[in-house]
A and B are shown apart, each in its own frame.
Chain A
Amino acid sequence: MAKDILKKPDALYEVYHRKPGEDKKNIHYCPGCGHGVLHKLIAEAISDFGVADRTIMISPVGCSVFVYYYFDTGNIQAAHGRAPAVATGLKRANPDTIVISYQGDGDLAAIGGNNILQAANRGENITVFFVNNAIYGMTGGQMAPTTLVGQKTMTTPYGRSVQNEGYPIKVVELLATLESPAYLERCALTDAKNIAKTRKAVRKAIKCQIDGKGFSLVEVLSACPSGWKLTPVQAKKWITDRMMSYFPLGVTKDVIDEREGYHPEKVKLTGDRIEEILGLKKEKLFRDKSMSEVPEQYRNPQIKVAGFGGQGVLLLGQTLAEAGMRHGWNVSWIPSYGPEMRGGTANCQVHISENDIGAPVVDFPNILIAMNKPSLDKFEPTVQPGGIIFYNTSLIDRKPERDDVETVGLPFTDIGDELGSLRFANMVVVGAIIEKTRLLDEDIVKEAMKEVIHNKKFIPDNIVAIERGMAEAKKLE
């Protein structure tokens, strides 16, 4: 419906109360800046569609960081380049929200390049307005990813050179190579015709989101007279003469009509459901135990578990940590392993302590579990005097050389194999640790093991393995 009066749209505040200083009626942009025009076009569309009350504008970093001064909508200001990630969260938490990310070229194409790429590739149902003025305006006119070849900026005083800085990034063409986006177009804020086209594109992009059609982005070539050191009228001409030949206007992707609208229900998370998801509802076996009940040399132990990847080294450490937690102690567990899932070296480091744990790293363990020879060779010298070494005689053909530590050598791998699988070896070790250190209680360890083992069908076998480990360790005495 054509309006009889054209004036400031309702989606812009009458008075900009958030703006500091005396002047609360004028926007902060320089004379002739394209931001103001785009603000008006977006605000007009939001007002006309009647969605201001459910719109959230996301301000970027750059000149338009103060979008939240002006728009009478919800507003969030995102970290540099991260507007698409913030938009994703907002949209997914509240699918009814109309989320509009407003970003400049430094924000979107440089520091936020991957953010926009991934949001577009996920096909987030958000609308992005990308203001391309080929320069970092706010910080004083430095080169942007979109700065034209030959364009002089503060950081390219002789002009952008292809050899040194490469070519400007064409964002809508780049995103058009992805399957997910629904609508991508480049417009320009120049003459009446192009502004009218921009207006149409702005409305189409917002409508795309309202209809649940998916990701839309409109790139707007926009003047920065201050950054370009031109008058506003010259700047407008510069867009036409210089920018448009490299950044051609037009639609690079439009599959809106081919798509069904997708309108997901808002996921409502109640307290009960959250507790269920986090596993807080389950009855768990806990028993407060004082470290004074533990033999002195094993109190507040620092544990290192090392072996080949695939020997269950990490799971072994997790079982000890989970069990420690269920005794009311503080625990930490960190793994360290090579890139291969099986066959490389792996180790994990576990703290179990009555006290606060500072660093989770264990450089000098008082409990070492060495599941293969390289681990014993490497870590035996690091064990604290008075500590204990559990070593796997199935794979280690020597005894530890240290005489100031206790040593427990058992054929853990062979015992596991005998119980039905090499993979039970780690729980045989756990059994031996229970028996030898008296740190952890058997019943609690068994419950902890059930928690950390994902495939529940192996639980009975692993219980047998723990008991066998205890029995074997007892025999050594």
Chain B
Amino acid sequence: MAKIVVQVDHCKGCELCVEACPVGCIEIDNEVLNKLGYHPAKYKGTGCTGCGICYYTCPEPDAIIVYKKNEREAA
């Protein structure tokens, strides 16, 4: 199953990924304040198709990693 991992301390909370995700599986985590002082993005945990749109929308090089397949299969 595809998934994304948000590296919390790289996210600046711009919400572009939230807005861009075609299946709406990313949200802003208002419970967390990261080291940079932002509420970071969070994967809802299901629904990711591994399309990669969030990765290319995100301005931060390190904030989002997309695993198009199961992490174990990919490795």
**A14 CB → nearest B CB, Å:** 9
Closest to A231 in B: B15
Hey, what's the 0/1 contact readout for B1-32 against A, CB within 8 Å counting as 1?
Answer: 00000000110111110011010000000000
Residues of A near B73 (CB, < 8 A) are 4
- Nearest to B55 among chain A residues (CB) is A6
**B57 — nearest CB in chain A belongs to which residue?**
A195
The verdict on A6 contacting B14 (CB below 8 Å), with A33-B59, A35-B59, A192-B20 known, is no
A26 within 8 A of B: yes
Asked if A191 and B61 make an inter-chain contact with CB atoms under 8 angstroms apart, the answer reads no
Contact for B38 among A5, A31, A70, A233, CB less than 8 A: A31
**Cβ–Cβ contact A27 & B61, under 8 A:** yes
Residues of A within 8 A of B16 (CB): 32, 232-233, 236
Q: Are A36 and B56 in contact (CB under 8 A)?
A: no
In the complex, which residues of chain A have a beta carbon less than 8 angstroms from the beta carbon of B55?
A: 6-7
Inside 8 A of A143's CB, which chain B residues have their CB? none
Are A192 and B57 touching (Cβ within 8 A)? yes
Q: Please, what's the 1-or-0 string for A20-52, where 1 marks a CB less than 8 Å from any CB in chain B?
A: 000001110111111111011101000000000
The residue among B9, B58, B59, B73 with the most chain A CB atoms within 10 A of its own CB is B59
Q: Is B56 a contact of A199 with CB atoms below 8 Å?
A: yes
Most A-side CB within 10 Å, residue of B19, B55, B65: B55
Query: Chain B 26-70, CB within 8 Å of chain A: the 1/0 string?
Result: 000000000010100000000000011101111111101111110
Contacts of B20 in A (CB 8 A): 191-192
Bound together, the chains give a CA A26 to CA B60 distance in angstroms of: 8
**Across the A-B interface, how many residue pairs have beta carbons closer than 8 Å?**
90
Residues of chain A within 8 A of B12, CB atoms compared: 30-32
The one of B14, B19, B65 that contacts A31, using a Cβ cutoff of 8 Å: B14
CA distance A195 to B12 in the complex (A): 20
* B61 proximity list for chain A (CB < 8 A): 8-9, 12, 27, 36, 39-40, 43, 70
CB of A196 closer than 8 Å to a CB of B:
yes
Known: A12-B61, A199-B56. A25 touches B69 (CB 8 A): no
Contact present for A26 and B15 (CB under 8 Å): no
* Tally of contact residues, B, Cβ under 8 A: 31
CA distance A30 to B16 in the complex (A): 13
Alpha-carbon separation in the docked complex, A417 to B22 (Å): 90
The answer to whether A31 touches B10, judged by C-beta atoms less than 8 angstroms apart, is: no
Q: How many residues of A contact B (CB 8 A)?
A: 36
Compute how far the CA of A405 lies from the CA of B10 in the bound complex, rounded to whole angstroms: 83
- Give bound CA distance, A37 to B61, whole Å: 8
Enumerate chain A residues within 8 angstroms of B69, measured Cβ to Cβ: 4
Contact A26 B65 (CB under 8 A): no
- Which A residues from 55 to 110 make CB contacts under 8 A with B? 70
Q: Which residue of A6, A29, A37 contacts B68 across the interface (Cβ within 8 Å)? A: A6
Cα A236 to Cα B16 with chains together (Å): 8
Asked whether A6 and B65 contact (CB < 8 A) given A31-B12, A192-B53, A232-B16, the answer is yes
Residues in chain B near residue A9, CB distance under 8 A? 61
Question: In the complex, which residues of chain B have a beta carbon less than 8 angstroms from the beta carbon of A2?
Answer: 68
Shortest Cβ distance from A38 into B: residue: B59
Residues from chain A with a CB closer than 8 A to the CB of B51 are: 192
Within the complex, the shortest CB–CB distance from B53 to chain A, in Å, comes to 4
The residue from B22, B60, B62, B67 contacting A4, defined by CB atoms under 8 A apart: B67
| B56:A40 contact, CB within 8 angstroms | yes
Known: A6-B66, A70-B61, A236-B16. A26 touches B56 (CB 8 A): no
Shortest beta-carbon distance, B47 to chain A, in Å? 16
Nearest A residue to B19 by beta-carbon distance?
Answer: A233
Complex Cα distance, B14 from A32, in Å, reads: 5
Q: Give the complex CA separation of A231 and B38 in angstroms.
A: 14
In the assembled complex, the Cα of A29 lies from the Cα of B51 at a distance in Å of 25
Closest Cβ of chain B: how far from A221's Cβ, in Å? Answer: 14
Q: Knowing A32-B14, A191-B20 touch, does A6 contact B59 (C-beta < 8 A)?
A: no
Shortest beta-carbon distance, A5 to chain B, in Å? Answer: 6
A residues near B (Cβ < 8 Å) are 2-9, 12, 25-27, 29-37, 39-41, 43, 70, 191-192, 195-196, 199, 225, 231-233, 236
17 example contacts (A-B, Cβ-Cβ < 8 A) are as follows: A4-B69, A5-B65, A5-B66, A5-B68, A5-B74, A6-B52, A6-B55, A7-B55, A7-B66, A12-B61, A25-B62, A26-B9, A26-B62, A33-B59, A35-B59, A37-B56, A191-B20
B interface with A by C-beta (< 8 Å): 9-10, 12-16, 19-20, 22, 36, 38, 51-53, 55-62, 64-69, 73-74
Nearest first, the 3 A-B pairs at minimum CB distance are A36-B59, A31-B12, A32-B14
